[in-house]
């Protein structure tokens, strides 16, 4: 069998047979404990500092951020953003309870549908699981309540994220995922800014195959320190 | 298989130096890669330490790769996916074809994958009536032009705006012939519109993998355009092409490697999309592929274990080595004649297609050491190239002139007193002859050098003599 042949060739090169049980147990233990390595100090800040760093980094990656005090202010912030960009008010929204609880009816000009995105959708609203301050990255684990197509197909991607869900490093995001979701979701996307390409003459152009605009609506206050 | 033109490296290099378009592209793009990496490294005080961490993680993964691959496979199965082990390119091609045929596929979208280039998957699918569509912008034009990529992260590195316009006009004949391509943006928009319908129509999506994760059974891709994500999300079948050395133990290990990958590659802190895929669509999911296959390819890697070249398996394909290489900077990627160019290609290509075909590549280095100095996993590339030169010499593959010259040099090098006398006489004589101009336009036995540039004349003593003098005067210890 090919599998055995490949494994045997690796072992022959490493000048050993299969790992002895104690070593295998040690490696299994390492996977279960998944130890962290060195984490850059830049995100080791109080929560308010992490939110500020997150916002700065999103903007450095050509994304935009609007901060609002509470969920009730989200429809207004979205409507204002779309009007400023001269975009239509038709949204495809993730069927996530936190997004469903937002009083969208306060803005009757916004037409909100729920589900996955199709190629015809111009604006998507995704639920942000976490924001990674280290590089201004959104962590978006896929689920029935957070379809992956919402990250990709619309020209304008809006992500609603609670400020208290901004963490320092990617590892903090993994820990939260393990604690709150459990087993690895089918898809976990880390998104840093809108789609871009530098394939033409190594010169940056925004809006390749994914969203041309990425807008984060940051809700509420940072987590208490 | 791609026919390797590596044996003709010298001719390729000569043609590349005379290619005005290529030289324009190299002059424009080379320096910007270097500056961007330097800026990203400077912005992260921990960067050098993280390179050590990255090296250690890959070393640990490789030292236990048999264990981690089996753990990885178990997790893929658990999450509803399948792993297909393949020893070589032929087996991998047939496996991919069989999955596509079982899915009744007519078109296949592809994310950028170097292992896909290595096994020439596109040709194989085409031969069997399946249309592969490259969706990374750079790969898309390479496919239109029937070329190999000239760079591992910037496939169209060698092209200029006029080449893009020309290829798009020839390929998209249904669009108005008088349309304008005033700026790069116009190219991008046309490609986006053209490829959007391909993403939606494809039956199978094929991507590569930057990492495989044993802890979770995940494959990881890193892109800026979002094409890889559309490729792996929209079709009903997702095939991952990955070579065995991509496997690392945990999410934390992969995360640490990602911290040095984008910075070393494009100088970004993080790529736009870093995506972890684990198995097939789950119950109640509204999107995602119904089938998830990993085609796990050896193709020469297992034979590198226990050899001088095991360290090469740490490579995470960032391209920093070629971005900083003076030889790559002068001749570009195509001169190397196969899939992997630059210093990493000079080490890897001989292991994959044989040193008898690719022996020129490890010789095409000045050994300036820049590649090793920027490698995020600290692969000693010059040392590995030197190992290839030794093997080439031992196997009598180097030309008679080179062997003769080395034999003469070896004779003197083993007799230090004679060596010093000979070099001293040489330096004095050349210094006298070249006193007037300070350089030589022609020189016996050095025609290869003087054909392209002048040889500077020695200005005094040999290095040995000057060093001894400096020691005596206390200038050096």
Domain boundaries, chain A: 1-35, 46-219
Residue B159 lies in a domain: yes
Q: Which tokens sit at B135?
A: 């969706």
Residue B122 pLDDT greater than 80, yes or no: yes
Which range of residues forms the domain containing residue B37? 6-302
pLDDT at site A1: 87
A19 reaches B (C-beta below 8 A): yes
- Whether residue A2 and residue B266 make contact (CB cut-off 8 A), yes or no, is no
Residue B169 falls inside a structural domain: yes
Q: Inspect the interface and report whether the beta carbons of A152 and B229 lie closer than 8 Å.
A: yes
With 90 as the cut, is the pLDDT of residue B394 above it? no
Nearest-CA distance B301 → chain A (Å): 9
Phi, psi (5° rounding) for residue B405?
Answer: -60, -45
d(CA A219, nearest CA chain B) in Å: 23
Q: Does A73 score more than 80 pLDDT?
A: yes
Residues A183 and B405: their CA atoms lie apart, in Å, by 63
Residue B442 lies in a domain: yes
Contacts of B31 (CB under 8 A, 6+ apart): none
Counting the structural domains of chain B, the total is 2
Q: Which residues, at least 6 apart from A94, have a Cβ–Cβ distance to it below 8 Å?
A: A114, A124, A125, A126, A127, A145, A146, A147, A150
Judge whether residue B395 has pLDDT over 90. no
Instruction: With CB atoms and an 8 Å threshold, state whether B216 touches A42.
Output: no
Q: Which helix (H) or strand (E) holds B42?
A: helix B20-42
Does residue B308 lie in a domain region? Answer: no
- C-alpha B4/C-alpha B357 separation (Å) is 8
CB-CB under 8 Å, B275 with A189 = yes
Per-residue confidence at B440, pLDDT binned at 50, 70, 90?
confident
Q: Which of the listed ranges A147-161, B26-40, B429-443 does the model predict with the highest average pLDDT? A: A147-161
Q: What is the CATH number of the domain that holds B180?
A: 3.40.50.10420
**Inter-chain touch B225–A191, beta carbons under 8 Å:** no
Band of pLDDT at residue B1, cut at 50, 70 and 90: low
**Which band of pLDDT confidence, cut at 50, 70 and 90, is reported for residue B423?**
confident
* Residue B461 confidence class, pLDDT cut points 50, 70, 90: confident
Same domain, B37 and B184: yes
| CB A177, CB A121: distance < 8 Å | no
Q: Are residues B181 and B51 in the same domain?
A: yes
Listed residues B259, B281, B302: the one ending a domain:
B302
Q: Which of B276, B302, B328 is the last residue of a domain?
A: B302
Residue B435 confidence (pLDDT) above 80: no
Nearest to A31 among B159, B160, B249 (CB): B249
In 3-state terms, what secondary structure has residue A124?
Answer: strand
Least Cα distance to B122 among B149, B100, B143 occurs for B143
The whole-angstrom distance between A105's CA and the closest CA on chain B is 25
A147 has a chain B CB within 8 A of its CB? yes
Burial class from Cβ neighbours inside 10 Å (0-12, 13-18, 19+) for residue B444 reads exposed
A191-218 burial, b if ≥16 CB within 10 A, otherwise e? bbbbbbbbbbbbeebbbbbbbbbbbbbb
Give the HSE-up count for residue B181: Cα atoms under 13 Å, Cβ half-sphere.
Answer: 20
Cα angle B161, B162, B163; round to 5: 90
Residue B448 has pLDDT above 80, yes or no: no
The residues, any chain, with a CB within 8 Å of residue B27's CB and separated by 6 or more, are: none
Q: Please indicate if any CB of chain B lies within 8 Å of the CB of A135.
A: yes
Phi-psi region of A141 (alpha: psi -120 to 50; beta: other; left: phi over 0): beta
Q: Which tokens sit at A180?
A: 């709150």
Whether residue A115 is predicted with pLDDT greater than 90 in this model: the reply is yes
Distance set, CA A164 to CA A3, A46, A129 (Å): 47, 12, 11
Is B70 part of any domain? yes
Band of pLDDT at residue A161, cut at 50, 70 and 90: very high
Residues 150-209 (A) with a CB less than 8 A from some CB of B: 151-153, 170-171, 174, 184-203, 205, 207-209
B455 in any annotated domain: yes
Q: What residue of B is the nearest CA neighbor of A14?
A: B306
Q: How far apart are CA A5 and CA B87, in angstroms?
A: 8
CA distance A19 to A39: 31
Please provide the average confidence, as pLDDT, over all residues in chain A. 97
Q: Looking at residue B157, what DSSP letter applies?
A: T
DSSP B53-83: HHHHHHHHHHHTHHHHHHHHHHHHHHTT-EE
In a 10 Å sphere around its CB, with 0-12 CB exposed, 13-18 middle and 19+ buried, how is residue A123 labelled?
Answer: buried
- Whole-number pLDDT of residue B468: 87
DSSP state of B290: S
Encoded tokens for B142: 């390479």
**Contact status, residue B237 vs residue B291, Cβ threshold 8 Å:** yes
Nearest 5°: the CA angle A157, A158, A162 is 145
Contact by Cβ (8 Å): A124, A150: yes
Q: Is residue B291 classed as helix, strand or coil in its secondary structure?
A: strand
CB contact under 8 A, B250 and A193: no
- Proportion of chain B in helix, strand, coil states, percent, rounded to 5: 55, 10, 35
- B359: nearest Cα among B12, B13, B9: B9
Min Cα distance A71 → chain B (Å) is 25
Q: Is A22 on the interface with B (CB under 8 A)?
A: no
Q: What is the DSSP letter of A184?
A: P
Q: Give the pLDDT mean for A49-60.
A: 98
pLDDT at residue B393, as a whole number: 85
pLDDT digits (tens, 9 = 90+) for B228-245: 999 999 999 999 999 999
Res B418 pLDDT > 60: yes
Residue B381 has pLDDT above 70, yes or no: yes
Residue B429 pLDDT more than 70?
yes
What are the DSSP calls for A61-75, one per residue? TT-EEEEESSGGGHH
B309 or B407, which is more confident: B309
Residues forming beta bridges with residue A156, ordered by sequence position: A123, A213
**Phi/psi at B211 (5° precision):** -145, 155
Model confidence, pTM? 0.94
A53 contact residues in B (CB cutoff 8 A): none
Q: Which residue has the tokens 């204002």?
A: A80
Q: Is residue B326 part of a domain?
A: no
Q: Is residue B138 part of a domain?
A: yes
Read off the pLDDT band of B464 (50, 70, 90): confident
Residue A189 pLDDT > 80: yes
Which CATH architecture describes the domain A46-219? Answer: 3-Layer(aba) Sandwich (3.40)
- Name the residue among A171, A223, A170 with its Cα closest to residue A51: A223
pLDDT recorded at residue B231: 97
pLDDT band at A59 (very low <50, low <70, confident <90, very high): very high
Residues B295 and B420 in one domain: no
Domain shared by B242 and B105, yes or no = yes
């Amino acid at each position: 069998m090919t599998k055995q042949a490949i494994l045997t060739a690796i072992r022959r090169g490493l000048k050993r047979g299969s790992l002895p049980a104690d070593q295998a147990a040690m490696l299994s233990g390492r996977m279960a404990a998944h130890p962290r390595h060195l984490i850059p100090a830049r995100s080791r800040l109080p929560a308010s500092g992490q939110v500020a760093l997150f916002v700065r980094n999103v903007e450095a990656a050509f994304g935009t951020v609007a901060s609002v005090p509470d969920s009730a202010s989200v429809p207004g912030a979205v409507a204002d953003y779309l009007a400023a960009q001269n975009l239509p008010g038709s949204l495809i929204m993730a069927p996530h309870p936190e997004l469903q609880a937002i009083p969208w009816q306060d803005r009757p000009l916004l037409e909100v549908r729920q589900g996955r995105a199709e190629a015809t959708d111009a604006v998507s609203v995704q639920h942000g699981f976490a924001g990674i301050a280290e590089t201004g990255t959104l962590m978006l684990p896929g689920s029935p309540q957070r379809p992956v197509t919402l990250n990709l197909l619309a020209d304008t991607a809006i992500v609603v994220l609670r400020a208290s869900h901004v963490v320092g490093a990617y590892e903090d995001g993994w820990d939260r995922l393990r604690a709150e979701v459990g087993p690895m979701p089918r898809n976990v996307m880390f998104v840093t800014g809108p789609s871009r390409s530098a394939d033409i003459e190594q010169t940056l152009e925004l809006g390749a195959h994914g969203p041309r605009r990425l807008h984060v609506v940051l809700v509420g206050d940072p987590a208490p320190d | 298989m791609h026919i390797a033109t590596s044996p003709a490296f010298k001719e390729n290099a000569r043609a590349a130096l005379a290619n005005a378009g290529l030289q324009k592209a190299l002059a424009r793009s080379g320096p910007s890669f270097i500056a961007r990496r330097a800026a990203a490294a400077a912005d992260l005080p921990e960067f050098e330490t993280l390179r050590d961490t990255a090296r250690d993680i890959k070393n640990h993964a490789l030292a236990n790769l048999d264990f981690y691959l089996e753990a990885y496979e178990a997790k893929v199965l658990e999450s509803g996916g399948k792993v297909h082990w393949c020893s070589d390119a032929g087996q991998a091609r047939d496996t991919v074809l069989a999955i596509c045929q079982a899915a009744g596929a007519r078109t296949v979208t592809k994310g950028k994958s170097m292992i896909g280039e290595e096994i020439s998957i596109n040709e194989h699918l085409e031969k069997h009536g399946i249309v592969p569509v490259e969706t990374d912008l750079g790969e898309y034009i390479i496919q239109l032009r029937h070329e190999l990529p000239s760079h591992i992260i910037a496939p169209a590195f060698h092209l200029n705006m006029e080449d893009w316009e020309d290829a798009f006009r020839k390929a998209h004949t249904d669009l108005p012939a008088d349309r304008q391509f005033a700026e790069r943006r116009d190219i991008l928009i046309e490609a986006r519109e053209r490829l959007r319908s391909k993403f939606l129509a494809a039956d199978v999506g094929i991507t590569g993998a930057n990492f495989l994760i044993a802890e979770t059974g995940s494959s990881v891709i890193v892109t800026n355009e979002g094409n890889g994500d559309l490729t792996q999300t929209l079709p009903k079948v997702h095939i991952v092409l990955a070579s065995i050395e991509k496997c690392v133990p945990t999410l934390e290990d992969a995360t640490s490697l990602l911290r040095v990958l984008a910075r070393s590659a494009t100088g970004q802190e993080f790529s736009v999309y870093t995506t972890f895929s684990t198995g097939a669509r789950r119950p109640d999911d509204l999107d995602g592929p119904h089938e998830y296959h990993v085609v796990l390819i050896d193709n020469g890697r297992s034979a590198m274990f226990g050899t001088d070249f095991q360290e090469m398996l740490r490579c995470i394909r960032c391209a920093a080595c070629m971005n900083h290489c003076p030889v790559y900077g002068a001749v570009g990627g195509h001169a190397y004649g196969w899939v992997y160019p630059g210093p990493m290609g000079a080490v890897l290509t001989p292991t994959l297609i044989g040193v008898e075909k690719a022996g020129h590549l490890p010789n095409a280095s000045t050994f300036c050491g820049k590649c090793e100095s920027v490698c995020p996993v600290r692969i000693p590339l010059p040392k590995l190239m030197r190992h290839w030169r030794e093997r080439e010499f031992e196997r009598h593959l180097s030309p008679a002139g080179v062997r003769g010259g080395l034999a003469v040099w070896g004779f003197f090098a083993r007799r230090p007193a004679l060596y010093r006398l000979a070099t001293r006489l040489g330096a004095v004589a050349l210094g006298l002859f070249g006193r007037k101009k300070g350089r030589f336009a022609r020189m016996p036995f050095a025609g290869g050098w003087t054909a392209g540039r002048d040889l500077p004349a020695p200005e005094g003593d040999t290095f040995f003599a000057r060093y001894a003098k400096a020691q005596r005067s206390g200038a050096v210890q």
